[in-house]
Amino acid sequence: MKSRFLFAALAVAVTVSSCGDPKTELFNGRDLTGWVCVTDPASDADPAETFSVSDGRICISGVPFGYMRTAVPYGDYRLHVEWRWVGEATNSGIFQRVQEGDKLWPGAVECQLQAGHAGDLLGLGGAEIAGAESNGRVFIKKRSGGECERPAGEWNKAEIVCVGDYIAVYVNGILQNECTGAARSGYIALQSEGGPVEFRNVYLTDPE
């Protein structure tokens, strides 16, 4: 893909990694070591202008569309991510089980962060998940936990549990969604789609 950029490789490459340690930090708070950035191949934008780090936060501009994914795939885990909108609350997502290919819309299950819909699950790139309905473009399983998002500028917390083909999503401590049918391993990604968003405290723990 033309606009694919590897900021830095991990010291050890593995086919599928799991979190043997109590806590596996995915973001070191300083730079994007361990992440691969993918942007729209139709854009000539420098990925470093879309994905950057400031004051211990991942800063994603929202344009062009794309995502930053882990350099290695993972199996079972509990993912912790905090995010907030910079200015207007717009759109982004957290991808689970991202498959090979670095396509703009990869095979993956997206935990939707779009304002008013945080916790919806989307099957991207042809991925189908149990209980989801097609809108003609993707498969969507709507959240069931109700409104729990915080206003723009305030930090939200997502906890995403992936075990085998099962995924559960908690937003600000509330169970919002569950599904089965996902791939059993894959990359983890943070999306650029729509507007500025920041992420921090991105780490894995054991799913149990």
For residue 87, the model assigns a pLDDT of: 93
Question: What pLDDT does residue 6 have?
Answer: 55
**Amino acid letter at 26?**
L
**Contact residues for 133 (Cβ-Cβ < 8 A; gap 6+):** 139, 140, 141
Q: Quick one: how far is CA 102 from the chain centroid? A: 14
Percent of the chain residues topping a pLDDT of 90: 84
Closest CA to 70 of 112, 100, 115: 100
pLDDT above 90: residue 51: yes
pLDDT score, position 4: 59
> How far apart are the C-alpha atoms of 143 and 37, rounded to whole Å?
28
**pLDDT, mean of residues 101-121:** 97
In the chain, the domains with their CATH numbers are: 4-205 (2.60.120.560)
Query: Average pLDDT in the 82-88 region?
Result: 97
Question: Do residues 86 and 97 touch, judged by C-beta distance below 8 A?
Answer: no
Question: For residue 83, is pLDDT > 50?
Answer: yes
Q: Which of 57-61, 69-73, 124-128, 167-171 has the lowest average pLDDT?
A: 124-128
Instruction: Give me the mean pLDDT over the 92-119 stretch.
Output: 97
Which pTM does this prediction carry?
Answer: 0.91
What are 86-97's pLDDT values in tens digits? 999 999 999 999
Instruction: Write down the pLDDT at residue 136.
Output: 81
At residue 15, the 3 state secondary structure works out as coil
Q: What is the predicted pLDDT for the residue at 35?
A: 98
